[in-house]
Structure 1
Amino acid sequence: MRGASGRNRLPLSPEEGEEAVRLARASVSGLLAGQAPFNRGWEGAFLKETGVFVTINSASDGPEKLRGCIGYPYPVMRLGEAITSASVSAATEDPRFRPVSTRELGSVLFEVSVLSPPAKLASAKRTDFPSKVRVGVDGLMVSRGHYSGLLLPQVATEFGMDATEFLSQACTKAGLPPDSWLDPETEVQIFQAQIFAEATPGGPVREVKQRAS
């Protein structure tokens, strides 16, 4: 469903999800071909302000390997613009990796995670936080002062984490000690994601269903 406030509420339709992934690939392909930034007249869900992350995985030489992941955790721009910007940044500006090259486009997979607005995780006791996190469904944002980090819901599933480890890894991602989620000065937020991904490079797009484990 979509609210009238100009912000998306999950879920997107399968057609919109496929369009989102196609847009991510087209944005990077156009950039590498030296074309002007990809732009179009957005419609429907793509006009709504929505948080989104674009992940690029290498599908060559065995198991998938991360090649870039950047996005916007908060709904600060229209979905179409956010996907275009995040995909280009994931391909060229992720400091963990060298930029994606033109010759790699045929061997990388694009994945788009459309996010719900983050909500503060609250409990009378911080030691209860793990019981409030649905592994495989919830993503985490951790922040304290100038430090912040985010882990998408699929990360916990891919690496076999339980809720406590997921919280600790989110703190580590933020540059904080692993047990910082127990500190009242550390803000912990959760969000959900609707995930669409290519099955093969440039091939069919499928929705990746998330289930609590």
Structure 2
Amino acid sequence: MDAFHFTLTPDEKHYLKELVRLVIVARLAGREPPLPPPPTETLRRQFGAFVTLTIDGRLRGCIGHIVGDRPLYETIAGMAEAAAFGDPRFPPLSRREFENVAIEISILSPLAPCPDPALVTVGRHGLLVRQGSRSGLLLPQVPVEWGWDRETFLDQTCHKAGLAQGCWKDPKTTLFWFEAEVF
């Protein structure tokens, strides 16, 4: 996989983080969130993205859209709302929690079939495993945060899909990889 050569300026990153905050604050107030126009054309490009919310380093919500099929700023706004209020693992975010929430955004390169699991680099690649109707995705930063090696990362991606460890070795399993701009 060629390196993902997508980067954002500090101002673009600031706009996206503020957009996440704006969407969550509006929804907490029961209002439709306004979407201020993006300051650059880059933010109108179509990329998949994830919004991750944490409180004191603990996951509080993480939702993403893998396929880049709408402008990035719209995807980020939608994923912000979904991470705060629609992650089935957590109750909706409260006003009190919002005061302590940390925001992380991951902008994804397009998915590509992984030609050889031995080429997966921890910290560089994210993975999606698919077998039948089951699939699981882990972002590139996850194995770094947990101190996993390549094989553990592959196994944990299978686990996220509800599949047995080692499923990535099964010819019925499809393995995709991607890179991300994370901030």
TM-score by length of 1: 0.81
Partner of 2:79, secondary structure, is helix
Query: CA separation in 2, counterparts of 1:115 and 1:142?
Result: 16
Query: CA separation in 2, counterparts of 1:97 and 1:89?
Result: 11
Q: Which runs of 5+ in 2 are unaligned?
A: none
Residue 46 (1) aligns with residue 43 (2): yes
Query: CA separation in 1, counterparts of 2:128 and 2:8?
Result: 22
Residues 88-134 of structure 1: CA deviation (Å, up to 9, x unaligned):
000011111111101111111011111111111013xxxxx1x2111
Partner of 1:169, secondary structure, is helix
Residue 55 of structure 1: aligned partner? 52
Q: How many equivalent residue pairs? A: 179
Q: Aligned-pair distance for 1:58?
A: 0.5
Residue 111 (1) aligns with residue 108 (2): no
Match 1:29 to one of 25, 31, 34: 25
Match 1:15 to one of 11, 17, 24: 11
Partner of 2:105, secondary structure, is strand
Report the residue type matching 1:20 in the other structure.
L
Query: CA separation in 1, counterparts of 2:42 and 2:5?
Result: 9
Q: Is the 8 A contact 1:149 1:170 kept in 2?
A: yes
Residues 13-58 of structure 1: CA deviation (Å, up to 9, x unaligned):
2221121111111111111111213323334122111110000000
Query: CA separation in 2, counterparts of 1:193 and 1:81?
Result: 18
Residue 73 of structure 1: aligned partner? 66
Residue 170 of structure 2: aligned partner? 183
Query: CA separation in 1, counterparts of 2:66 and 2:94?
Result: 26
Residue 88 (1) aligns with residue 84 (2): no
Query: CA separation in 1, counterparts of 2:53 and 2:26?
Result: 16
Query: CA separation in 2, counterparts of 1:39 and 1:18?
Result: 14
Residue 97 of structure 1: aligned partner? 90
Aligned-pair Cα RMSD in Å: 1.4
Q: Is the 8 A contact 2:22 2:33 kept in 1?
A: no
Report the residue type matching 1:155 in the other structure.
V
Match 2:131 to one of 135, 144, 158: 144
Q: Which runs of 5+ in 1 are unaligned?
A: 1-7, 124-128, 197-213
Partner of 1:11, secondary structure, is coil
Partner of 1:31, secondary structure, is helix
Q: Aligned-pair distance for 1:164?
A: 0.4
Residue 206 of structure 1: aligned partner? none
Residue 156 of structure 1: aligned partner? 143
Residue 210 of structure 1: aligned partner? none
Q: Is the 8 A contact 1:51 1:117 kept in 2?
A: yes
The percent of aligned pairs where both chains have the same amino acid is 40
1:174-213 matches, within 5 Å, as: 174-196=161-183
Q: Is the 8 A contact 1:38 1:84 kept in 2?
A: no
TM-score by length of 2: 0.93
